[in-house]
Amino acid sequence: MRKRDFLPYATKRILIFLHDLAWVPICISFSYWLRFNFAAIPALRSAGLVELMLVAVVINGLMFWLFGCYRGIWRFASIPDLLRLIKAVAAGDIGTILVCFMIGRLEGIPRSVLVLYPILLVGALASARIAYRVVRDQGLKFDFEQGTRVLLVGAGHAGEMLVRDIEHHGQFSPVAFVDDDPQKQGHEVRGIRVCGTIEDLPRLLEELDIQMVLATMPSAPLNVLERMVRVCAERGIKCRTLPSLSELADGRIEVARLRTVTVEDLLGRDPVELDQQSVVSFLSGKRVLVTGGGGSIGSELCRQISRHNPDLLIVLDSCEYNLYRIDQALNTHGKPLVFNSMLGDVRDEYTIESLFARVKPHVVFHAAAYKHVPMVEDNVIEGVRNNVFGTRTVADAALRHGAEKFVLISTDKTVNPTNIMGTTKRVAEIYCQALGYSNGTQFVTTRFGNVLASAGSVVPLFERQIAAGGPVTVTHPEITRYFMTIPEAASLILQAGAIGKGGEILVLDMGKPVLIRELAEKMIMLSGLQPSRDIQIAYTGLRPGEKMHEELFYEKEELQGTTHPKLLLANSIPAELATVRKGLDMLSKAVEKSDVDGVRALLKSLVPEFNPTFLHEQEMKKSASLRLVKT
């Protein structure tokens, strides 16, 4: 809580000025007493004393203002303020000597006083400011309110800067540091002692009556964050962290930037470093179309594209609300951005043709898709219409109207698919790869796994279930998925678009697969609760079309490195375009007749690896005995 200011700023400056002026005659008097060994001042010297006081008060007061001694704030007094005081007092002393010399040739004024009084004056003025800052910074508050007792994890440079900022607020009261560096044990950082390592955290929380824990390390090690979150959750203590280094682009460490620990922090993914020059060359001055631009990935693509100076950004989405949200976000963009928000469906050939004829985009990012596995499993015809023929409609329009590059955003569920959603996206991959480099248009496919916190993903579902008191539902104890953050996925899609030459499938490096059970446990702990004790985890069995473990590439796709360390090239031989088009024509007729069985059979012919029976016969058996078993 901030302290209330009882006096206006101008009034404070006047009072500080009068305070400084009062020290001038005091320091002169004390200089005389020192000169005469604290004995009575001789009568012959009294006239010189009065003359010196009057001149020094006027001259020094003028110098205090001229040298800006009242621009700073006492609570934040620092070395520059001290230097300013020294300059002002030195100039005041010289001015005083000159004026007194002109008035009476310095008669009756001891020369030693002219040296002593400016030294005493600097000491007095600086001491007053330092004392005030110490009183304020050490928490001696006039309203007797104490801040939240906090323990800081990490006694490095960021920790020191955070404590420095905490000192200027009444919100927190730093009690101790913990740090795993042996050389820091027992030492102090701005008066706060390093009392142990991260392993001592449970003991210190109890002994020191800690109310909150702050991780003062940007991009803190995963094991440290996990330990901190677990210990705090067990005791019902809140914890906060500084943003990662990538988020702290300006390097400022301050209380206002503390935030709650997120599941992204606990997954420990390294920040993505883009080849900015290639992305700028790819997008700057271009007309860029993003289909599905209101969705989780599409909207983040739009935000990142807007930073690379496109000539025009066109956002297409069939959902009015999603389009409204990204429209509002782009309207508040920091610099002028030319963009159009368009309601439309990628399955509507007239809408797409009209758009391309009018805008003629240079670059197309095709993010529009149905991606929820169980939903598409129950709506086969609509899934095929959107994911297969929506892609074909946009890709063909890009080809007809001379787009430079078409980037298809795909999924890991296309590899050995066991569901309709993955199979439809695989057909879209096959078509775009067959188009390859056609009539000047480069068709590039990007493939990656699940995106944290995207619409329909498991993270928002777990958040709702935790808020409702549980249980958190996981389909199988051993089920795993690949995860990356939305900004990371969008950044790598842009990078893939920049380096792709046509016909490639670029696989995003997803790191290690994550156990969904462990993800649920971490999210429960982030809520300040304990798995099994406060929130139960229930295993419900695999759903239709769901795999235990996703794959990022086929065995026949030999992965090769690219110019970016987080992008891999899945080498495979494209299908003949004429063959693919013939298969799509047959699939289109089956869709028009709403022949679900026929559609499934044709999908199987287009994607021989499509094997829904594998899931039913193998994995459903494994999960049957685990249904509704709670940890």
Residue type present at position 89: V
How many angstroms separate the CA atoms of 406 and 416, rounded?
24
8-state DSSP, 566? T
Helix axes 349-359, 390-400, angle to 10 degrees: 30
**DSSP string spanning 471-527?**
PEEES-TT-EE-EE-HHHHHHHHHHHHHH--SS-EEEE---S-EEHHHHHHHHHHHT
What DSSP line would sit under 336-385, residue for residue?
---EEEEE--TT-HHHHHHHHHHH--SEEEE------HHHHHH-HHHHHI
Q: How far is CA 565 from CA 187, 225, 268, 270, 278, in A?
A: 41, 26, 17, 12, 15
Burial of 539 (0-12, 13-18, 19+ CB in 10 A): buried
Q: Cα torsion at 591, 596, 599, 603 (round to 10°)?
A: 140
Of 53, 26, 19, the C-alpha closest to 128 is: 19
d(CA 29, CA 35): 10
Rounded to an integer, what distance in angstroms lies between the CA atom of residue 52 and that of residue 46?
Answer: 10
Map tokens 């693919």 to a residue: 580
Active site amino acids? 413
φ, ψ at 535 (rounded to 5°): -125, 125
**Rounded to whole angstroms, how far apart are CA atoms 496 and 506?**
7
Among 240, 227, 158, 159, CA closest to 193: 159
Question: How many C-alpha atoms does 74 have within 13 Å on its Cβ side?
Answer: 20
Strands 450-451 and 483-484: parallel
Positive or negative, the Cα torsion across 325, 331, 335, 336? positive
105 Cβ contact partners less than 8 Å away, ≥ 6 residues apart: none
State the CB neighbour count (10 A cutoff) for residue 183: 8
- Given a contact cutoff of 8 angstroms between Cβ atoms, the answer to whether 297 and 454 are in contact is yes
